[in-house]
A and B are shown apart, each in its own frame.
Chain A
Amino acid sequence: MEEIEFKESTPLTMGVELELQLISPRDCDLTRAASDLLALTESARHPGEIKPEITESMIEVSTTVHERHAPLCEELQVIRDVLVAAADRLNIEVSGGGAHPFQRWHERQIYDRPRFNHVADLYGYLAKQFTVFGQHIHIGCANGDDAMYLLHALGRYVPHFIALSASSPYYQGVDTAYDCSRLNAVFAFPLSGRAPFKLSWSGFTEYFHKMQAAGIVESMKDFYWDIRPKPEYGTVEIRVCDTPLTVNRAAALAAYAQVLCHKLLAERDDRLEKLGEDVYLAYQYNRFQACRFGFDGVIIDPYTQQMSTLRDDILATIAESYRSACALHATQAINDLVYMARIEGNDARWMRERYAESASLEDMMWRQAQRFRAPPRVSPKKGRAVRQERQLWPARP
């Protein structure tokens, strides 16, 4: 059987896709605006791409391929500014966040495109309920085997990405008690979850052809896995992140993925092969802990069976990968993540704090949109906090 071609790409390059919410400033609900917004951004010059998504209240932006965190972050800011300027002319707000806090999903309108209409027909109400907003991170791989190795090795860190990006505590008008409720909407799809445990590209191709022959899938797009290979781009794609409230955080998450991959490739050994499919034993449980409790979730390391809170696990992982962060010039981004895990908390916490102040989800949604818009605030106060952060690093082993 013919192998699917895995397009070679420069290892450890990265790209980001963000799904964003379009909000009416009048009632802070999702609004139909994608096609009007796209009509405006089409004529504007900007890097990356701005594309329609499945409903009219949603838009997707993607960056070009980057080797370093700083230019990636800059490009995301430029795209954001173009979007916000266009949105201002239409009196709509663009916002991050993994789910809209109080939209009624049955009011969503499917964007008129053959693929979207097909998805809507196939999945019925799930398609509309799937009005959730995620960040996808692509990491370039030299070949398919590397991609499959990274895919399964990254599985252990999936809870990190969930806790760091979580920004969907409210859904359908209530506090779900989860930091990330968005993934619960994804789990409803039959082809969600994790990829099959194949460590070689040929093994994976074989699996894919079987699924195709059985008529279960047509293309790779039909898999909604947490991490999936993207042979056309030559990348692995991490899909568990909620869209953060700021593009800076989105860039920092991408940098974290890049650092982890750098470390995993540099320290590649036979641990994963030895452990085999058992690497996924605690996977669902860990993922649930991350969604439900964020940094306070307790996860089990599949290799050592040790239990620890996600906060400690993230900080320990970051401490271990300091060398990779330096090599990739990503220390700034990693510092921000440490500050977040230690002190600031994730976006879900920020949202709960805002809601506690006003007791109004509308008001919270509005501030969330303002947070997306605001240029990075480099107030002297925060600058100090970040600098102090270096001393908060856990001791390097």
Chain B
Amino acid sequence: MEPISFLPAWPLAVPDLAKFCAALIVAMLVGELGDRLLRLPRIAGYVIAGLVMGRFAGLISDPSLHLVSVLVDTAIGMILFELGQRVSFGWIKRNPWLLAASLLESALAFTAVYWVLIWLGMRAPLAAIIAAVSMATSPAVVMTIARDLRAQGQVTERLLLLTALNNIYAVITVTMLFAWLHLEYRHDAYTIYLHPVYLLAGSVLLAAVAAGLLLGLMEVLDKRRATQVLCVITLVIATTMVAEALKFSPALTALAFGAFARSMDRKRHFASLDFGDAGLIVIVAFFVLTGSMLDIRVSLATLAAALGLVAARALAKMVSVIALGRATGIRTRKASLVAVGMLPMSGLALLLARDAMALYPHIGRDAAGILPAAVLILEILGPLAVSFVLRTSGEAGEEVRRGRN
């Protein structure tokens, strides 16, 4: 029989992007079901869906799809920018204990993770880099859940401030540590001292310029909110791309951009801006991709090491935040909630570690998947912790919304 000529060839050649979109829809359904049946945070559902589909269904075959990677870069940039806006210099000045608590928790977390890794036999520079990365709380998880639950109050505010600060420390420390790596592998004085200076100063300077530009634009764009929001988003994308092109740190640039824009905003343009749910599709894509990047084929030994890392980090953060809770002006119960909320580890960790390994491939073998395994544990547990914290503190506003429906 003659084949019917207008029918497509079999098997169908489904574009990767279409597969990815299908995966997103499945992930949204999983997230919704998890929320309704188990009261799981939606993003935990996205991560799990991404993990399963990436591993077994082959729906997420090529995470480097161009459009998707642009989306994800945008998402990370916006999340960091919004997080940077939470850094209120005025608040830190009026309540310096917050800065003390923040420095202490990051320093302790760094030390604890570093010693655990050294004890496990890891080389010092790599252990230090992983320890630096572990200082950071996942901005994406905290921001997304806080917004999803419409949380508002001291626990939320402090959680977001401490997250913003420890991300800044992490980026700076990692940058500094690259110098140490240079020292160990190259002995090139210029590189050792100039690289971190170039990277930090460049990022901060670029952020300041971008903030000035943004505020100038907002002045001109009047009060039409849609254009103002669009203006922010486009400028964040442009700035992070410039940062990347100039080999600054895009993450630090986005954070500093947010912080400067907010602190230089004398006319409070930002007070009325609501980035809303427009970024939702990007958030889903981001967590599905994170899930698909997780590797569950870890050995028992690696898992144990990762658990050790997670426990040491958690202990360090909890001890310091709870110890300084009263000094910063909240009750110990609320301080403990803030501390638990800081558990999620940044997916940024994976990227930073990857950067380090790309620069110096021969140290990569040592890592032996400890960091990815730790991220695996915390990507699943972290969202649970944050949503538990925001609900327990009574700061989640979602009950109202449910009641209205």
Contacts and interface: CB of A to CB of B under 8 A. Distances in A.
B88 A24 contact: no
A362 interface: yes
B268 A362 contact: yes
A39 B157 contact: no
Interface string B148-182: 00101110010000000000000000000000000
A31 interface: yes
B272 A27 contact: yes
Contacts of A28: 268, 271
Contacts of A106: 400, 404
A90 interface: yes
A356 interface: no
Which secondary structure characterizes the binding site on chain B?
A: loop
A262 B89 CA distance: 51
Interface string B24-41: 000000000000000000
B271 A31 contact: no
A127 to B, nearest CB: 13
A31 B154 CA distance: 10
B329 interface: yes
Interface in B317-337: 328-331, 334
B94 interface: yes
Given A36-B153, A36-B330, A359-B223, A26 B271 contact: yes
Contacts of A184: none
Interface string B386-400: 000000001101001
Interface residues of B, number: 28
B271 A32 contact: no
A366 B268 contact: yes
A286 B95 CA distance: 48
Given A36-B153, A89-B95, A363 B329 contact: no
Contacts of A89: 94-95, 328-329
A181 to B, nearest CB: 21
B400 A363 contact: no
Interface of A: 24-28, 31-33, 36, 39-40, 56, 86, 88-91, 106-107, 109, 112, 358-363, 366
21 contacts: A24-B157, A25-B88, A26-B85, A26-B88, A26-B271, A28-B268, A31-B152, A31-B153, A32-B153, A33-B154, A36-B329, A40-B329, A90-B329, A91-B90, A106-B404, A107-B400, A360-B269, A360-B272, A362-B271, A362-B272, A363-B271
Given A26-B85, A360-B267, 6 more contacts: A24-B152, A26-B88, A26-B271, A31-B153, A36-B334, A360-B272
Interface of B: 85-86, 88, 90-91, 94-95, 150, 152-154, 157, 223, 267-269, 271-272, 328-331, 334, 394-395, 397, 400, 404
